[in-house]
Amino acid sequence: MSKRDLKKYLTELNKEQLEEQILELYAKFPPVKVYYDFVFNPKEASLLQECKLKITHEYFPIKKMGRRSRPKMRRSVAQKFIKHFLLLGVDSFLIMDVMLYTIEIAQTYSGENTITQELFYKSMYNSFDQAVSYAIANGILYEFKTRIIAIHKETVAQKWKNKDAFAAVLERLEL
């Protein structure tokens, strides 16, 4: 069904029928419920806190039964949150905060542990490049300038293999 056909169909319904359809969508499809729950009660602070907690647990998992489980270090966890926040229409400052937090927590972990996986460094570079591009696109680059530069400095301090790629992103920006 095209958008035009849908619009025609919806104009033919009366108010009660429209309400009934929306309530049915709300009940049947979890994404619709999540969307309306967010629209009418946008608890962005609690969403942000939950997101940061889950990202932190990717690198610093909670001890289970007296022993510490291994960190998974999955970038995909943060990416799912970012995508979800974009779909909900969360404030761009909060999305940018999550993007940078993901890299910062990974740097905290790599500062304490040796990481031999090349994919980790490539993944963090992709996250950095994506975050800077997002900041530019949303006109919020200068509000996050300090954190962006700090991330680059940390890649140099930790002697990341791709620190030059991080530097190239900053050179393009002329920060």
pLDDT in tens, 115-126: 999 999 999 999
Encoding tokens for residue 123?
A: 């993944």
Confidence band for 65, pLDDT divided at 50, 70 and 90: low
Confidence band for 40, pLDDT divided at 50, 70 and 90: confident
Q: Which residue has the tokens 């943060």?
A: 78
Alpha-carbon distance 63 to 81, whole Å?
A: 24
- Taking CA atoms, 71 is separated from 55, 63, 139, 159, in Å, by 11, 11, 34, 21
DSSP result, 16-80: HHHHHHHHHHHHH-HHHHHHHHHHHS--HHHHHHHHHHHHHHHHSPPEETTEEPPP---HHHHHH
Length of the chain: 175
- Asked if residues 134 and 99 have their Cβ atoms less than 8 Å apart, the reply is yes
pTM: 0.82
Q: What's the chain's average pLDDT?
A: 91
Encoding tokens for residue 169?
A: 């992103």
Q: How many percent of the chain have pLDDT more than 70?
A: 97
Q: Supply the pLDDT for residue 67.
A: 65
Any idea where the domains of the chain sit in the sequence?
1-41, 42-173
Helices 118-137 and 75-88: crossing angle, nearest 10°? 20
- Taking CA atoms, 60 is separated from 11, 12, 52, 69, in Å, by 53, 55, 12, 9
